[in-house]
Amino acid sequence: MAFDFSVDPEFQVKLDWMKKFVKEEIKPLDLVWPHDVFKKFTPQQEAIIAPLMQAVRDQDLWACHLGPELGGQGYGQVKLALMNEILGTTSWGPRIFGTQAPDTGNAEILAHFGTPEQKEQFLAPLLDGKIVSCFSMTEPQGGSDPGIFTTTAVKDGEFWVINGRKIWSSNARWASFFITMVVTEPGAPLTKRMSMFLLPADTPGINIAYNFGVEGEGPDDISEALIHYENVRVHESAILGGAGNAFAVAQTRLGGGRVHHGMRTIGRCQELLDQMAERVLSRTTKGELMSEKQAIQMKIADSYIELQQLRLLVMYTAWQIDQYQDYYKVRKDIAAIKVQMTRVYNNIAQRALNIHGAIGTSTALPFVQAVRGAAVMGLADGPTEVHQVTVSKQVLRDYKGSPTTFPTYLIPNLKADAEEKLFGKSTTPRVPDRTDLQAK
Ligand SMILES: Cc1cc2nc3c(=O)[nH]c(=O)nc-3n(C[C@H](O)[C@H](O)[C@H](O)COP(=O)(O)OP(=O)(O)OC[C@H]3O[C@@H](n4cnc5c(N)ncnc54)[C@H](O)[C@@H]3O)c2cc1C
């Protein structure tokens, strides 16, 4: 039986290189440019960042979510999980390694469904780390229910004309292109109602009406866009994956994106646990180290246990994706990760903040930001509740209801069955069902 948690020594060398590189070369970027990850680089940033990206390429670690045909390494999801744990401790890490959301998912869509010209114009510079992109799906009237999306494209000869509004289109102001989900077949069932359009950012009619910020960002950093699509006219070749196929196309990006968030969250939570550990081993109260207090020990223990559970779930799911090469087949566990990573991140961030006392609430430490990050994680890529619905549906599809009024697992009935099997007759009275009564 193959059941192995070891990392092959060659890849461990890569991971060790990554850990050192992230600590020494990338963490400083987080400190000096915390909000610039998706912006166009300044000449000073370009001079510092280009050699770092090259160093990653030289190690064969660039864009590892992709197969070799697209410039990645084809390492698979399990190895990617180990890498993303390291990258998750930084904001800049994924950009320097060519694995940042939402560009990873958009690259996967373009790779699968783009024409050769579209790939040359957008995929190549995206994979090169030269440009960033935007995924524009959520609408102001409600993101959880695509059934109420109203942004529409109407056919006009060889062209489509798009009108409507999208919101929370991350990084729109810096993006070179948008992948936008639009109703093209209004009368069709939901899963065949929409199409995915590739829109160059300079297409006339794409108007950013407002940028929302998330807590902690300055006015130059905010980039959660409300976009008005006003008579946006594009050639029919802008549809990716065929008209009416947006749901199938979206699967290409959303499944992987969520698992990768899970992988990075593990790294983030491990760092919070490390910080808690240092604090409780440094600070004394009522005559002893905080680490000696049982209430503190419970927080440390629960954080470790929850993190290990999440890690196992993520690794198991990554392994399944490698086995089946099919995100859809693994959707139950992908949705489970989405639910659980939010909870674990929130729990550990809250504990870390609490253990640090007042300074934990300050901007001198990362804990308020982490709590906010967990809240965002519970919404971006779909709210927790929607993923719980997915998990529940997938779990229940393998079951069926009892054929009688009572549960099939009533102990007296099971015991009567057991006695009949073992002794040829039973002395335990069965709980009668209505069908038994009718038979009498
Ligand atoms: C920082 C950030 C970045 C984002 N980036 C992008 C992006 O790049 N592109 C993009 O298209 N979108 C993006 N989103 C949007 C995100 O996908 C939506 O916020 C999400 O789908 C929820 O939609 P909503 O905000 O309209 O909330 P609503 O749909 O109004 O849901 C609000 C709440 O209602 C409850 N709820 C909703 N549905 C159900 C249900 N079926 N059962 C039970 N309870 C339910 C949940 O508690 C949920 O949290 C981003 C969001 C954030 C916060």
- 435 vs 417: CA distance, rounded Å: 18
**Residue 138 alpha carbon to ligand 1 centre in Å:** 8
DSSP class of residue 147 equals G
**Nearest CA residue ID for atom 40, ligand 1:** 386
Q: For a pocket test of ligand 1, which of 100, 132, 138, 199 has the largest count of ligand atoms closer than 8 A to its C-beta?
A: 138
**Residue 168 alpha carbon to ligand 1 centre in Å:** 9
Q: For a pocket test of ligand 1, which of 168, 211, 391 has the largest count of ligand atoms closer than 8 A to its C-beta?
A: 168
Counting atoms of ligand 1 from 1, which one is nearest the CA of 382?
21
**Nearest CA residue ID for atom 36, ligand 1:** 385
Check if the beta carbon of residue 37 is closer than 8 Å to that of residue 92: yes
**Residue 373 alpha carbon to ligand 1 centre in Å:** 14
Q: pLDDT-based confidence at 255, cuts 50/70/90?
A: confident
**Residue 172 alpha carbon to ligand 1 centre in Å:** 18
**Residue 381 alpha carbon to ligand 1 centre in Å:** 7
**Residue 149 alpha carbon to ligand 1 centre in Å:** 13
Mean pLDDT across the stretch 238-261?
90
| Residues lining ligand 1, Cβ inside 6 A | 102, 135-138, 142-144, 168-170, 214, 224, 376, 379-383, 385-386, 389
Q: pLDDT-based confidence at 436, cuts 50/70/90?
A: low
- Which domains does the chain show, CATH number per domain? 9-100 (1.10.540.10), 133-240 (2.40.110.10), 248-396 (1.20.140.10), 409-435 (no CATH)
- 257 vs 255: CA distance, rounded Å: 5
Mean pLDDT across the stretch 302-321?
97
Q: Which of 152, 184, 154, 151 is nearest to 166 (CA)?
A: 151
What is the pLDDT of the chain when averaged over all its residues? 94
Q: Is 256 exposed, middle or buried (0-12, 13-18, 19+ CB in 10 A)?
A: buried
Residue 97 has pLDDT above 60, yes or no: yes
Counting atoms of ligand 1 from 1, which one is nearest the CA of 166?
11
Q: pLDDT-based confidence at 423, cuts 50/70/90?
A: very high
**Nearest CA residue ID for atom 30, ligand 1:** 142
Question: Who wins on pLDDT, 217 or 54?
Answer: 54
Q: Please give the structure tokens belonging to residue 382.
A: 């779909």
- 222 vs 35: CA distance, rounded Å: 9
**Residue 386 alpha carbon to ligand 1 centre in Å:** 9
Render pLDDT for 381-392 as a digit per residue (tens, 0 to 9).
999 999 999 999
**Residue 383 alpha carbon to ligand 1 centre in Å:** 5
CA angle, residues 179, 183, 186, in degrees to nearest 5: 165
**Nearest CA residue ID for atom 52, ligand 1:** 380
The dihedral over CA atoms of 27, 103, 148, 240, expressed in degrees to the nearest 10, equals 180
**Nearest CA residue ID for atom 41, ligand 1:** 386
Share of the chain above pLDDT 90, in %: 84
**Nearest CA residue ID for atom 45, ligand 1:** 385
Q: What pLDDT sits at residue 92?
A: 96
Which of 143-152, 168-177, 244-253, 364-373 has the lowest average pLDDT? Answer: 244-253
Check if the beta carbon of residue 35 is closer than 8 Å to that of residue 223: no
Q: For a pocket test of ligand 1, which of 196, 379, 381, 391 has the largest count of ligand atoms closer than 8 A to its C-beta?
A: 379
CA gyration radius, the chain? 26
Q: Please give the structure tokens belonging to residue 153.
A: 């494209």
**Residue 114 alpha carbon to ligand 1 centre in Å:** 27
Mean pLDDT across the stretch 263-276?
98
Residue 434 has pLDDT above 80, yes or no: no
Residue 438 has pLDDT above 60, yes or no: no
Phi, psi angles (nearest 5°) of residue 145? -125, 95
Which of 19-23, 189-193, 219-223 has the lowest average pLDDT? Answer: 219-223
pTM value is 0.93
Q: Which of 147, 341, 197, 201 is nearest to 257 (CA)?
A: 341
**Residue 143 alpha carbon to ligand 1 centre in Å:** 5
**Nearest CA residue ID for atom 44, ligand 1:** 385
Give the length of the chain.
440
**Residue 212 alpha carbon to ligand 1 centre in Å:** 14
Check if the beta carbon of residue 140 is closer than 8 Å to that of residue 149: no
SS3 152: strand
